[in-house]
A and B are shown apart, each in its own frame.
Chain A
Amino acid sequence: AQSVTQLDSHVSVSEGTPVLLRCNYSSSYSPSLFWYVQHPNKGLQLLLKYTSAATLVKGINGFEAEFKKSETSFHLTKPSAHMSDAAEYFCVVSDLGNDMRFGAGTRLTVKP
């Protein structure tokens, strides 16, 4: 079965500095990959998705992620962090469309 590992449980950055949230996956097929964001006491919102098209995927709010098959990675980046980016982020892998596996999450803190 597919699985995903988020390499950092907590990342702290200063406002205006780059963000890197790391995700490695395991899959027997050509996976679909997603990043979701969850703000405190809220539901989950899709940031971006990869479904075998371009390997560099652009999402909402200036986030992007690059699919690297050789490294089985799908890291999330943003050039400049904003205070409103403080949230929990989940990397998700799906092999067969309707079975999606979540990572444990990375909590992003943004310092003023």
Chain B
Amino acid sequence: DAGITQSPRHKVTETGTPVTLRCHQTENHRYMYWYRQDPGHGLRLIHYSYGVKDTDKGEVSDGYSVSRSKTEDFLLTLESATSSQTSVYFCAILPGLAGGFGANVLTFGAGSRLTVL
């Protein structure tokens, strides 16, 4: 998965508990993203980052916060998980303009499946 590691890969939690998902990359890419995938909706952007401590909201950011204190790590936090946040979460990076098939195209991690009971 192009040097992207997501953890945990699976998590079951209860409503009202905090949850943090971690995305780690090994290639020092500037842009990192968090998406959620739900049936019938495709992938929807939650938050993205364009550098250390530089983040912005996506189309479904309510109930989520992010932090990026190091280039390699992008954390997604659910302060108080709800059942509507049961989903599969994907982290992605955007490799720069280096040419080739994968240049400037989102590259995804393997996903983190979160279940909120």
Contact = CB atoms under 8 A, between A and B. Distances in A.
Contacts of A97: 94, 104
Task: Give the size range of B's interface with the partner.
Answer: 20 to 34
Contacts of A44: 43, 90, 106, 108
Interface residues of A, number: 19
Nearest to B38: A104
A86 to B, nearest CB: 17
A90 B90 contact: no
B50 interface: yes
B102 A43 contact: no
Nearest to A9: B40
Contact of A98 (B31, B90, B107, B111): B31
Given A44-B90, A98-B94, A103 B42 contact: yes
B48 A98 contact: yes
B110 interface: yes
A104 B105 contact: no
A90 B104 contact: no
Interface of B: 1, 31, 35, 40-45, 48, 50, 90, 94, 101-102, 104-111
Given A46-B101, A102-B35, A104-B41, 13 more contacts: A6-B42, A9-B40, A34-B105, A34-B106, A42-B110, A43-B90, A43-B108, A43-B109, A44-B90, A46-B106, A90-B42, A97-B94, A103-B42
27 contacts: A6-B42, A34-B105, A42-B110, A43-B1, A43-B90, A43-B108, A44-B43, A44-B106, A46-B101, A46-B102, A46-B105, A46-B107, A51-B104, A90-B42, A90-B43, A92-B106, A97-B94, A97-B104, A98-B94, A99-B45, A100-B45, A100-B106, A102-B35, A102-B42, A102-B43, A102-B44, A104-B40
Give me the 4 closest cross-chain CB pairs, A-B, nearest first: A102-B42, A102-B43, A43-B108, A44-B108
